[in-house]
Amino acid sequence: MGEEETTDAEKSVVKNVARLTAATADERADAAELLCRAGTAAAVAAVPLVKACGDDDDGVREWVVAALEELGPPPKTDVPALDTLAGESNPLVAYWAITLLGRSGPDAAAAAKVLAGCLESADPAVAQRAAWALGRIGPGASVGRGPLERAAAAADPRLARLAAEALAAIGP
């Protein structure tokens, strides 16, 4: 791809990130769809996309989620912002912030304390994803060892399994 084309793709992502907070749901959904079609090139839009998981409109949220599924790992510089969003009360926002932290692997070690707190979430998907993310961080998530040991004894079989796997990944 030529330098000019790369610049146009980047400009498109920036433009559509701005449109994610447009006044109309149709425009926000269109922006999310275009970011989804950008694939991993939209990784720079990780934080705005996670925030957009809190949109009131179903159509916007579906395209935002689809974009996040295709995004790959976020830029390392997004870890602090995602750390904050992982504690959001909106379960979909928290879930995707946690997912992107997990995709960051060891680079998200600074978020391990917040993720350990998410193991107590009332939303099962959030708690399970937090266990998964701690496992992806690995030894750098040792601060989560105690909460993970409690989660490994949970009645939720998926949470228990993911917590046990995370403990194995963190190591002794």
Partner 1 sequence: MSPVHPHNPTASHKPPAGVLPLVAACLLALLAPAAARAQPAPGGGPAAKPWDAVLIASFNIQVFGESKMAKPQVVEVLARVVRNFDIVAIQEVRAKSDDIIPAFVRAVNADGSRYRHVIGPREGRTVSKEQYAFIYDTDRIEVDASSIGVVPDPQGRLHRPPMHARFRTRITPAEMAFTFWLVDIHTDPDEVPQELEALTGVFQAMQAARPDEDDVILLGDLNAGPPEFKSFGRIPGVAWAVAGTTTNTRRSKTYDNLVFARPATNEYLGGWGVLDLQSTFGLPLDRALEVSDHNPVWGAFYPAEVRSQPGAIAGGASPARR
Rounded Cα distance, 125 and 119, in Å: 10
Residue 81 is a binding residue for partner 1 (CB under 8 A): no
Residue 22 or 70 having the CB closest to partner 1: 70
Q: Judged by CB under 8 A, does residue 2 bind partner 1?
A: no
Q: Give the nearest distance from C-beta 43 to partner 1 in angstroms.
A: 14
Indicate the length of the chain as a whole number. Answer: 172
- Identify the residue among 13, 17, 20, 29 touching partner 1 (CB under 8 A): 29
Report the residue from 13, 52, 132, 134 that binds partner 1 according to the rule CB under 8 A: 132
Which residue from 158, 79, 154, 161 is spatially nearest to 114, judged by alpha carbons? 79
Element at 120 (helix H, strand E): none
Cβ(110)–Cβ(83) below 8 Å: yes
Cα–Cα dist 97/118, whole Å: 11
Any contact of residue 158 with partner 1 (CB under 8 A)? yes
Token pair belonging to 159: 């949470």
Among the listed residues 8, 10, 69, 120, the single contact to partner 1 using CB under 8 A = 69
Separation of alpha carbons 9 and 46, rounded Å: 16
> Which whole-number Å values give the CA distances from 100 to 20, 132, 152, in the listed order?
19, 11, 22
- Residue (62 or 117) nearer to partner 1, CB: 62
Size of the site for partner 1 (CB under 8 A): 28
Nearer to partner 1, 3 or 58 (CB): 58
Binding site for partner 1 (CB under 8 A): 29, 33, 36-37, 39, 58-59, 61-63, 65-66, 69-70, 91-92, 95, 99, 102-103, 124-125, 128, 132, 156-158, 161
